[in-house]
Amino acid sequence: MIDDKIIQVHADYALDALKPKLNAYRHFRERVYIGVTASPEKRWKKHQGKGWKKMVLIYEAYSTDIAERLERGLINYARQCRYRVEIENVGDGGEGLSTTRQRHFLYLLVD
């Protein structure tokens, strides 16, 4: 299941707008993962077999640089917070981003 909860805000203000959204999911969910993809449907199919209940699209970035900056920023923020649920990200973000596509979606996987 893919939920479209994309916020409409300029990239310069996106990280501050995304933090409360992440906080809400971390408060009510058992597992949370932060990711970026150019193809949400294909990426969701890869994640489904790992027990995730849904993918929540939270931001649409129109450049690879913005997508990488936001993913890294949100992962870093999540690691600094002391929540009951830690994020499941192993890397720092930006791994595997498409350099041939400009449009990317920042997403959360939740369980």
Find all residues with CB under 8 Å of 45, minimum gap 6, and list them: none
Question: What local confidence, expressed as pLDDT, does residue 98 receive?
Answer: 65
Q: Which domain holds residue 90?
A: 2-110
Q: Which amino acid is at 51?
A: G
Measure Cα distances from 77 to 29, 51, 100 in Å: 18, 25, 28
Q: How far apart are CA 99 and CA 58, in angstroms?
A: 21
Residues of the chain with pLDDT under 70: 94, 98, 100
Supply the pLDDT for residue 93. Answer: 81
- The per-residue pLDDT for range 88-97, each reduced to its tens digit, is 777 778 677 7
Measured torsion, CA atoms of residues 25, 15, 89, 76, in degrees rounded to the nearest 10: -120
Q: Domain tally for the chain?
A: 1
| Residues facing 104 on adjacent strands | 61
